[in-house]
Structure 1
Amino acid sequence: MGRLIAVVLFIAVMVPSGLLARGWAQASDRRLVAGGSVELVPPSEAGAAVLARQARHGRRVRQLGFVLGLVLIGISVAMFAEASVFLWLPALVVGLLAGVLLAEATRPRPRWAAGSRRPRRGEQISPWLLWSMRVAVVGELVVAWTLWSAGSLDRGVAVVALVAPGAAWVLAEVALLRVVARPLAAEGADVPVDEALRTWTAHLVCAAASVLALVPLGASLLVAGVDLGDRVTDGVDLVPVALVAGGFSAITAGLAVAFFLVTWLRPVRHAAPALAG
């Protein structure tokens, strides 16, 4: 009976990762709509220049993120020697995601005339995806701090587990604030371009921050579950099962969000108008 309860609990805890993946899959429809609207009406010269400028900016800053990843690999080698071989991929991923966040948080202001209407948050991204990112970051910070206080995490690992998601959250919130603080473009032909750029930024920063929170959160929960599983208790202890299941769920969700993040890396482009001719 205890095993059946454990299996049911494991499946139940895995449900949120499936829901989050489904939410990001639905966000692809928003990407298609936003990208397709740019094709309906030719943008002004200023709008076309903004598209090219934003694409160049994003590409250059993400390249800096790759360099940052290489620097982090060097730091891990200096600190952990041979053991750092297991940290090379995480360090590179952290650098790449940091590049994504920095690129969106430092987007140059468009050079077109601004209108009077300010966009609403729900016009760019689903509140479900936004708040799942925030909950994941807070959960990772709480779990990492708790494990560090209990002595289950080394100081260096704990600092990384706290600083990386925290810094990603700050950059994501800065980018999201810029998305809604600036009025929409005044000229009708540039409004679809403006809205598409905001949609791209909102999803990119939410996805990058979610990955930097979910994967460490999953690893932390697995560590906590294994530590509790080593205890000798009377009866069936479901807490380790819940922690292990939560760890697998968080890691699965993080990998799923990473997959959808890649689909948003392609910049907003403008080709021949769909209604031309």
Structure 2
Amino acid sequence: MGKVGRLIAVVLFIAVMVPSGLLARAWARAADRRLVASGSVELVPPSEAGAAVLARQARHGRRVRQLGFVLGLVLVGVSVAFFAEASVFLWLPALVVGLLAGVLLAEATRPRPRWATGSRRPRRAEQISPWLLWTMRGAVAGELVATSVLWDAGSLRDGVAVAALVAPAVAWLLAEVALLRLVVRPLAADGSDVPVDEALRTWSAHLVVAAASTVALLPLGALLLVAGVDLGDRVSDGVDLLPVALVAGGFSAVTAGLAVAWFLVTWLRPVRRSAPALAG
């Protein structure tokens, strides 16, 4: 590869890394939505029913996420049973998948608030940016396609391929169930409970989208890196940019997945009610 080829490869690498930066920027903006939602809860004191809902939802989230940790430990044991010594590289991914599954299950199975509801239903855009939502769906679709292609090419073992297909698909289904529940259920009827209701919906939407995105982006990045390295080993005439694009895409997906996972951690703190800002 000559100087021109190397220059093109560098430019391509940088260009493919741009989407991860844009996604991180979008999640940083989502943090502003979290501040607004939590500020609204503190501004107006909720009713007794609203305060009870906040406590109940927080307990539910903690309990189910603890079950997710247990599920992660079970997955570690399953990996040991199937892959023996080689499973040591799967322990951390298995534990992470279990923890993220706990987040998704907690949001998909949240109990319905015990308060009177009105007639208005919220719009999806009021809860989360459509760009974040469709990025999650695109990442899941890309991961499933990449897994299928590499599996057909013989680059993945059957057990690894099945896990790489099942985990993102199940995560996506749980996320869609949770998101559907958010738009189907009407808003609270009591005006003092509306900020609590909207905050809970905002939290839930961002949690499931972040969790499903992480489950898809991290393995997608690993798969693209594997494909890029495999193609880079072949002998070709001239400049072959496909391996460079795949490796850059892999790094971009892994970087984006880690960034989304970091933002996910910031959303795990439940909606809390402190002293009303207008009290006294």
How far apart are 1:49 and its partner, in Å?
0.4
- Quick one: which of 13, 24, 27 aligns to 2:27? 24
Distance across 2 between alignment mates of 1:131 and 1:35:
25
Q: Verify: 1:160 aligned to 2:170, yes or no.
A: no
The alpha carbon displacement at 1:155 in A equals 0.4
Letter in 1 for 2:61: G
Aligned to 2:49: 46
The equivalent of 2:172 in structure 1 is 169
* Equivalent-residue separation in structure 2 for 1:148 and 1:172 (angstroms): 26
Cα displacement (A) at 1:165: 0.2
Give the match for residue 258 of structure 2. 255
Deviations 1:214-263 (A, max 9, x none): 00000000111011111111100000000000000000000000000000
Pairwise CA distance, 1:151: 0.8
Aligned-partner residue type, residue 66 of structure 2: Q
Tell me which amino acid in the other structure corresponds to 1:196.
A
Match for residue 102 of structure 1?
105
- For 1:66-215, list aligned pairs within 5 A: 66-215=69-218
Q: Could you tell me which of 219, 224, 248 is aligned with 1:245?
A: 248
Identical columns (%): 86
SS in 2 for 1:188: coil
- Describe the SS at the equivalent of 1:180: helix
Amino acid aligned to 1:136: A
1:84, distance to aligned residue in structure 2 (A): 1.1
Counterparts of 1:76 and 1:122 in 2: how far apart (Å)?
Answer: 40
What CA distance in whole angstroms lies between the structure 2 residues aligned with 1:275 and 1:8? 54
The SS at the match of 1:236 is coil
**How big is the shift at 1:196?**
0.2
CA distance in 1, matches of 2:249, 2:99: 26
Q: CA deviation digits over 1:22-54, x for unaligned, max 9?
A: 000000000000001000111001000000000
Alignment partner, residue 278 of structure 2 = 275
1:217 aligns with 2:220: yes
| Distance apart, 1:82 and its partner CA | 1.3
- Equivalent of 2:239, from 232, 236, 240? 236
Amino acid at match of 2:172: W
Q: What TM-score, normalized by structure 1, do the two folds share?
A: 0.99
Cα deviation 1:180-231 (Å, max 9, x = unaligned):
0000000000000000000000000000000000000000001110111111
- Aligned residue number for residue 61 of structure 1: 64
Deviations 1:88-132 (A, max 9, x none): 111100000000000000000000000010000000000110000
Give the corresponding residue for 1:14. Answer: 17
Match in the other structure for 1:227: 230
**Equivalent-residue separation in structure 2 for 1:80 and 1:187 (angstroms):** 55
- Distance in structure 1 (CA, Å) of the matches to 2:156 and 2:206: 32
